[in-house]
Structure 1
């Protein structure tokens, strides 16, 4: 607590109160012994302002701090004299000088001090049979305090503490000022002791377990809403300052801006070589970690009789599909935004902008009270994710060495599944809470990943190809030198820059970019590249993997007859298996290539879903368990091939001139396919049950010839060399590239000649200067 006050938030001390009216009643029974019923009864009897523990939940941090300070004086070293607390009447008056009575915690903790401070007050010890009190205490207070961590201590000491507390009170008060009372006693002994007339209304029996937990949950909701509101204000203010400072052009900010930018560009000072490459890889992977978390977080919330369902009126299958799938429409919108502004803004800027939008979307989600607001939040977060998912592969592919580019890009798929795993188990962990914390916390946690993404990208360079394309050649040379960890005038740095320049010159011979050139065959074959780009994105989604990722628990419940808890556990375990499968291609991608992994994995996916369909059709529980095993195997096959390749393959096969736009198109089609799968899955499960798997088995079989005939192999090639794969082979370029045709192709020698001529020219200029 002291560490939090010093480093995070130090609430001010509340203003001091003076005793406005005499303290008349000290109700010092422990929580869950009828204290709330007694508090209501005292109010009915006319006592003005009865302080109860519930008041602490609704108070400001100032009041909490005052009670904490009293606790330190009682149990800490400060303020003790001869082993006794020196808390005085004035200290209590400062806290509740406006009250005539006090009940429940935290006053009960200071029972001896209160009795000593107010000797004229009457003392009531509310009692309850210890064997019924203890289970009630455990049911209510343990889940909302420290019970999960100190369960053993509660069981060993709870009843003993209760009896000791009661004995202490009995021995501290004169009999004429003391009443031992139970809720069952009702009005008569209470009114006789307090010298009050018995009211006409019934005694207020209340504060059941449900009422207490409900009150706590409502206060948690208020706290969450308040925290998110404050976070919104902070994020917006920081965003305005950063945008104004880094993007503004006002004269009085210019010197500060230039100095700040130079200090933040870590690659100029500390990050070089492999360190810089890994920093770029980590930033790109952070975008995909966020993507995976978003994909998995809704799976543990929808389709169950939980707080999420009750808060949003138990949405049916169609509405569940809308809540889950409209996020993908937001991703499509984000991809479209990237198409139009991504090339102008640059890769790191787009990632930071996408992260900022996701923080805003998370805030909307975390404060949702209606389905409409929830859907809006999902769409906004989708926009940010669409921008990130269409930008990160381009950023990483343009900064990665050809020799292990596939390995680095494959990491994006691995961390995507890591995000899904985190989301699944976080959903499972919070499922035991009955408050809206159950779903608000997982949805809010997206902001953590988004903020980390923004922080990771700050200080990283733009890609050399983007800089050359925008005539910033000196900066491009500096970035290449930093990536290669070589001097600016090194021959390899010069050749890399010249390769990029020659490639861009070849691409720009047709003049300024026009949208219609994407639909032309011609020498560059953009239309062929675009068809491959779109088909691989559709293929990734129509394998059926997102049917499992988004609706794993629902699938186990509705098609396999499992209960919710087992379905949640299996969903999490499947994602852990998925994570293992996604790590395998890190070691295989640059050894076997893209085509081989896609073909083998398509066959494996088809076989798994065929077996799932057969086993589920038998309608037996033992067969359902067998089908579950094939679902696990399916996730491994998918993680090896169809998970990583479609995310980076479009960035490899498209030219620098259209790479950003093609990546945005790929991302857009990918998210539209996700929307289709996510939307139809709950409806398919409702209507055709296990036959849903048959459909995806057929689609996986169809992907084998598609990859074999049409997808060229890009393993080990520089990005500037990959366009040469499209100079021959027509629509069967996949077969052509796999048979070695890519090693010698028309146009290759001509390009090398132009590069060599430029190198010789540069060398001659250097000699002339020297």
Structure 2
């Protein structure tokens, strides 16, 4: 399939990790992003839905490039804004870029990753997101000492630089081999697979992976199904709902209450002004560190144990936060900081990275981009709702807000325990077996064969009955059949 060795300087694991780290700039951007989040999420919601079709049409790399360009343009408009409405327009444009990036980066990551490292690489990607968040907090802290409009223009300008770097670098990244094979660019797809396996086009593992992907693509084509949202919903409803639920609970479990409003949470607990921002910055460093253990654990423990344990710790920390705010004693300020740090650490190792890993790995290639686009849109929809209602709830129900999100953590525990299958180490092309669809299809085939046999038997019986009835209507001949007389 590939008649010459790769010309890439990086091949094998160095190439794989370089791609992963660089792609993480995409999630760094929406982790870093500054300002009123609800405005940005309007654009992110709609473009995350559109990203499904865009990713299928122009590829993963092309979508990454466009998303970075759109985000950079939006960031530039915000940086040089001259008024409120130009800021709003810039935020919405940046949101459009975020919607494309947040959908396509996890898909791209899952499609270039080997099964035994797929979880680790996705968790590295999430670490990039939290580094972005931490960078935004510390940038805000240091810029708070600037007594001019540069205090907010500098943070906005930094994201433009990162966006431009991502846009330029995306042109050097290889395309997803699965998208290439799915669009009949087999030679190029095989070349990328060979590069990811060390650059040798005759590598047996690379050839076997190519053949497995090609066989799955051909199998889907032979089925003759249209690649539409309607078909996806009808055939893969369970997978779509699980993917959407993972992103919904990533928001309902309380991370936005803690992260976006961390300074206010600390102010409620007694910290003031820059001290509140400083505490949020310290919390963000611990948040980053908490995202490192899943690099090692996710492909060893599996997805389910991490999600389940994370839900328990998060629920406990949120209930404790509400309790300390309720009793409001001298220890409340320090106790709330500890609770928030524990919550962030639990989220960073569980419900932070895994909802970005789980949807693209459970979706089949034919509808992966569309399925992930719906799960990502769910993230932004709930992100919008939580961001919009949190200030209201903080005023209306005060300390009760935190146990309320603790209840959602408990709900997510139940959902994972009963409904989420384990996907650790399973190749993307073999995910049907995890959901029992291979067995179900075989059963359906067997039932169809049995149905055909029953129809044949009924046809034979009906033919015999018709012959018998005709003979009955003819009088003497029926008697001969019925009695066996030869007269």
Give the TM-score taking structure 1 as reference length.
Answer: 0.55
Q: Distance in 2 between matches of 1:695 and 1:424?
A: 26
Asked if 1:276 is matched to 2:15, the reply is yes
Matching residue of 1:638:
347
Kept in 1: contact 2:248–2:379 (CA 8 A)? yes
Matching residue of 1:153:
none
Asked if 1:424 is matched to 2:133, the reply is no
What is the DSSP-based 3-state SS (H/G/I as helix, E as strand, rest coil) of the residue aligned with 1:441?
helix
Cα deviation, 1:117-153, whole Å, max 9, x if unaligned, reads xxxxxxxxxxxxxxxxxxxxxxxxxxxxxxxxxxxxx
Asked if 1:487 is matched to 2:200, the reply is yes
Asked if 1:506 is matched to 2:219, the reply is yes
Matching residue of 2:480:
none
Cα deviation, 1:169-198, whole Å, max 9, x if unaligned, reads xxxxxxxxxxxxxxxxxxxxxxxxxxxxxx
Q: Distance in 2 between matches of 1:533 and 1:331?
A: 18
**How far apart are residue 713 of structure 1 and its match?**
0.7
Q: Distance in 1 between matches of 2:330 and 2:137?
A: 24
Cα deviation, 1:317-349, whole Å, max 9, x if unaligned, reads xxxxxx321111111122022122211110111
What is the DSSP-based 3-state SS (H/G/I as helix, E as strand, rest coil) of the residue aligned with 1:432?
coil
What is the DSSP-based 3-state SS (H/G/I as helix, E as strand, rest coil) of the residue aligned with 2:425?
coil
Q: 1:396 aligns with which of 104, 109, 115?
A: 109
Unpaired segments ≥5 residues, structure 2? 443-487
Q: 2:24 aligns with which of 285, 291, 307?
A: 285
Q: 2:252 aligns with which of 529, 542, 549?
A: 542
Matching residue of 1:762:
none
Asked if 1:528 is matched to 2:238, the reply is yes
Unpaired segments ≥5 residues, structure 1? 1-265, 299-322, 729-743, 749-770
Kept in 2: contact 1:724–1:747 (CA 8 A)? no
Number of residues paired by the alignment? 437
Kept in 2: contact 1:507–1:655 (CA 8 A)? no
What is the DSSP-based 3-state SS (H/G/I as helix, E as strand, rest coil) of the residue aligned with 2:117?
helix
Asked if 1:515 is matched to 2:224, the reply is no
Asked if 1:648 is matched to 2:345, the reply is no
Kept in 2: contact 1:465–1:476 (CA 8 A)? yes
Matches within 5 A, 1:28-47: none
Q: Distance in 1 between matches of 2:341 and 2:311?
A: 15
Matching residue of 1:81:
none
Matching residue of 2:455:
none
**How far apart are residue 533 of structure 1 and its match?**
0.7
Matches within 5 A, 1:36-75: none
Q: 1:606 aligns with which of 300, 310, 315?
A: 315
**How far apart are residue 746 of structure 1 and its match?**
7.4
**How far apart are residue 412 of structure 1 and its match?**
1.1
Q: CA-atom RMSD, angstroms?
A: 1.7
Matching residue of 1:669:
378
Q: Distance in 1 between matches of 2:277 and 2:104?
A: 33
Matching residue of 2:401:
692
**How far apart are residue 510 of structure 1 and its match?**
3.0
Q: Greater RCO between the two (CA within 8 Å, min separation 6)?
A: 2
Asked if 1:580 is matched to 2:319, the reply is no
Matching residue of 1:442:
155
**How far apart are residue 292 of structure 1 and its match?**
1.0
**How far apart are residue 486 of structure 1 and its match?**
4.4
Kept in 2: contact 1:538–1:670 (CA 8 A)? yes
Matching residue of 1:78:
none
Kept in 2: contact 1:398–1:463 (CA 8 A)? yes
Kept in 1: contact 2:44–2:98 (CA 8 A)? yes
What is the DSSP-based 3-state SS (H/G/I as helix, E as strand, rest coil) of the residue aligned with 1:487?
coil
Which sits farther off after the overlay, 379-388 or 336-345? 336-345
Give the TM-score taking structure 2 as reference length.
Answer: 0.87
Kept in 1: contact 2:6–2:191 (CA 8 A)? no
Matching residue of 1:680:
389
* Structure of higher CA gyration radius: 1
Q: 2:63 aligns with which of 350, 368, 386?
A: 350
Kept in 2: contact 1:581–1:636 (CA 8 A)? yes
Kept in 2: contact 1:604–1:634 (CA 8 A)? yes
Q: Distance in 2 between matches of 1:404 and 1:340?
A: 27
Matches within 5 A, 1:169-318: 268-294=7-33, 297-298=34-35
Cα deviation, 1:30-70, whole Å, max 9, x if unaligned, reads xxxxxxxxxxxxxxxxxxxxxxxxxxxxxxxxxxxxxxxxx
Matching residue of 1:751:
none
Kept in 2: contact 1:654–1:723 (CA 8 A)? no
Asked if 1:721 is matched to 2:425, the reply is no
**How far apart are residue 284 of structure 1 and its match?**
1.6
Q: Distance in 2 between matches of 1:684 and 1:511?
A: 46
Kept in 2: contact 1:481–1:493 (CA 8 A)? yes
Q: Which runs of 4+ in 1 moved over 3 A?
A: 744-748
Cα deviation, 1:63-96, whole Å, max 9, x if unaligned, reads xxxxxxxxxxxxxxxxxxxxxxxxxxxxxxxxxx
Kept in 1: contact 2:312–2:413 (CA 8 A)? yes
Kept in 2: contact 1:545–1:635 (CA 8 A)? yes
Q: Distance in 2 between matches of 1:543 and 1:483?
A: 37
Matches within 5 A, 1:67-106: none
Matching residue of 2:92:
379
**How far apart are residue 723 of structure 1 and its match?**
1.6
Matching residue of 1:19:
none
What is the DSSP-based 3-state SS (H/G/I as helix, E as strand, rest coil) of the residue aligned with 2:352?
coil
What is the DSSP-based 3-state SS (H/G/I as helix, E as strand, rest coil) of the residue aligned with 2:429?
coil
What is the DSSP-based 3-state SS (H/G/I as helix, E as strand, rest coil) of the residue aligned with 1:283?
helix
